[in-house]
Amino acid sequence: MTNFTKTLTAALLVTGAVIPAIATARPMTAEDLATLKRMGSVAVSPDEKWAVFDVTETDPESYARSSALYLLALDKSEAAPVRIVDQPDKSEHSPAFAADGSLYYLSDASGSEQLWHSGISSAGTTGKPERASDLKADIAGFKLSPDGEKIALWGDIARDCQTFGCDAGGNRAEPGPGTGREYDELFVRHWSSWETPGNYSRVFAFDLKDSKIAGNGTALDGDLVGDSPSKPFGGGEEIAWVPGEDGLFFVLRTADRNEPKSTNLDLYGAKADGTEILNQTDDNEATDTLPAFSSDGEWLAWAAMARPGYEADRLVVKLRKKGSGEDDAIALTKDWDRSVGSIVWAPDDATLIVTAQDVLDHPAFSIDVKTGKVTRLTGQGNVGTTIPLQDGSLIYTMNSVQLPTDLYQRAADGTVTQLTNINGRELAEIDRVDVQRFNFAGAGGDRVWGQIIKPAGATGKLPMAFLVHGGPQGSFGNIWSTRWNPKVMAAQGYAAVTIDFHGSVGYGQEFTDSINQDWGGKPLEDLKLGYAAAIQTDPQIDGERSCALGGSYGGYMMNWIAGNWPDRFDCLINHAGIFDLRSFAFSTEELWFDQWDHGGVWWKRADPEKWNPVNQIANWQTPTLFIHGEKDFRIPYTQSIMPFTVSQEMDIPSKLLIFPDENHWVLKGKNSVQWYRTVFDWMAKWTATEGSGASEGE
């Protein structure tokens, strides 16, 4: 065991009790953010005695990352998580319990991502890890059947391959003999990768015998051509076995020339032998996802959007009884103006547990299946995985602006216990921040919410870091982020201010829709009013020293602010922002997004240039740092090169930071540290003293 692993294991011994801050606490750094441990997947054993979760660890010197599994006894108060199936220099992740209480998980111990198995004794000891698969392709994920006799595996497989992996990759875009790629329809590229027509994410069903997969498996897509789970972010939440039956449901996005303009995800049902494949949601041309069956298999719940082409439409919970048709589905949450993010059934099949954005939080809710009554279960924070137990309690993961993800349990009476504190020792050495919510009358008099995050106990005036979220249908709410983290921003001596402007989620669908074809209108008005409201709410904020920062749509807003609010900020920081809406319309990959938000294809829009930042460059004067990843195909990196060129040609102080190995997000540890160091240096340069940005040159 390495010293790094020993340190992690020692830190994990701290559970329910929160470690008090020590006298030598210090401000949080970019290095802290990059190296704090990250909890991932969580599973609970059938007897509800054990929880297993994976933790991603980052070496503080090399920033290399690996994951490991930890076992926690749920029937013992103040139990300590214990590392299990420890295979040196390998990663284990994605744990799941079988019906017999044994554990399956994915590991790269064999040189590729394969399925592994280990028994767990009543005392919590694990048996020798055994490899449960030996397939040609990497396994991206798996889902065990309720009876433990079958398993669904998925991964990137050639469409003409009848087994889980073939020697040929199936990519029709590479005919050879040269390196050229050929395409005759969109997608050409998606998110961060060039497309591979002929190779898709595919689901196969296998039998399990003696804790290993048996046979060659059966592809469940039949004549369908597309990705299941959907790309780029779909996973196990899109796969559901039918209890008591030899079949499962899966979400699939059809791959054809209409794919870049379609948000139509459908639920398909199939027998495990690959027969009786049927589209269960054929009538809905918008998104259908998150299938979940009641334990008796009598009811199917899923989430559905109503408007095709709109990725931020409200996801409504639907219910359908076994044997009924699509027209017989019940829209259970049609009167609840929130969009669900996950669905699981409670053990009694009388209640659904869902998550949804609600103002600045992302809590868990219960929904009565008979009445549709919604009850909020958790307080402030961002809830992820939810696992309801037989005694009415709820195991769940949660994080917040203040704290990264840990495991919690809510008892049936509402009492909450923190079960893990995986970064307890590290966080004890880091100063806390103060988090304050405020609201104000925004555009049209609508209530708009924001947050102020600043160092606890700070004295004197604090310059403002004005953070603008992306999406734009998103939220800069009470959530821990490993990318844009307000706590580490505030730790540098700033008051970090966030505003959930018109278009944000968690305030009802009408509020979310209001940004449509109004990108530079109501949102900018909200930001201006929010800036003033933050200063009025907290007089410690120095309104004369401020830097605005934003990524994606937030980066678009930096360009829009540069031309339409040019005298407000000492500096701007623009990560992957849109500069020219015209070129963006022809170079982005998910065309549905641009065409919905801006009113159709470019040449048919009523006033396509109205909200285009390129048209206001004559007003630019603010020093700006531009950042982009070369693998960003959502907003290609030329969208940062162009405004950097403008700034340089206009002698506006400016800098360009390009990451050749990052996409729309900066994900790698060393790159994250470089990102923050560059950002902090830029902010300090222009906000050091009042008025410093007005006279200092580059």
Three-state SS string across 392-453, please?
Answer: CCEEEEEECCCCCCEEEEECCCCCEEECCCCCHHHHHCECCEEEEEEEEECHHHCEEEEEEE
For the chain, the structural domain boundaries read 432-695
Rounded to two decimals, the pTM is 0.95
Main-chain dihedrals φ then ψ at residue 327, nearest 5 degrees: -70, -15
Q: Can you tell me the distance from the alpha carbon of 71 to that of 54, in angstroms, rounded to the nearest whole number?
A: 9
Which fold does the domain 432-695 belong to in CATH?
Answer: Rossmann fold (3.40.50)
What residues contact residue 312 under an 8 Å CB cut-off, 6+ apart?
Answer: 471, 473, 505, 512
Q: Can you tell me the distance from the alpha carbon of 93 to that of 336, in angstroms, rounded to the nearest whole number?
A: 35
**Residue 360 region, left (φ>0) first, then alpha (ψ -120 to 50), else beta?**
alpha
- pLDDT band at 10, cuts 50/70/90? very low
Closest CA to 451 of 463, 434, 431: 434
Q: Could you say which DSSP state residue 220 is in?
A: S
- pLDDT band at 17, cuts 50/70/90? very low
Q: Strands 193-194, 189-190: parallel, antiparallel or unpaired by DSSP? A: antiparallel
Q: Can you tell me the distance from the alpha carbon of 137 to that of 149, in angstroms, rounded to the nearest whole number?
A: 22
Q: In this model, does residue 219 exceed pLDDT 70?
A: yes
**pLDDT 10s digits, 312-356:** 999 999 999 998 888 899 999 999 999 999 999 999 999 999 999
Q: Can you tell me the distance from the alpha carbon of 142 to that of 119, in angstroms, rounded to the nearest whole number?
A: 18
Torsion of CA 85, 86, 92, 97, to 10 degrees: 20
What is the chain's mean pLDDT, rounded? Answer: 94
Looking at residue 323, its pLDDT comes to: 86
- pLDDT band at 25, cuts 50/70/90? confident
Q: In this model, does residue 650 exceed pLDDT 70?
A: yes
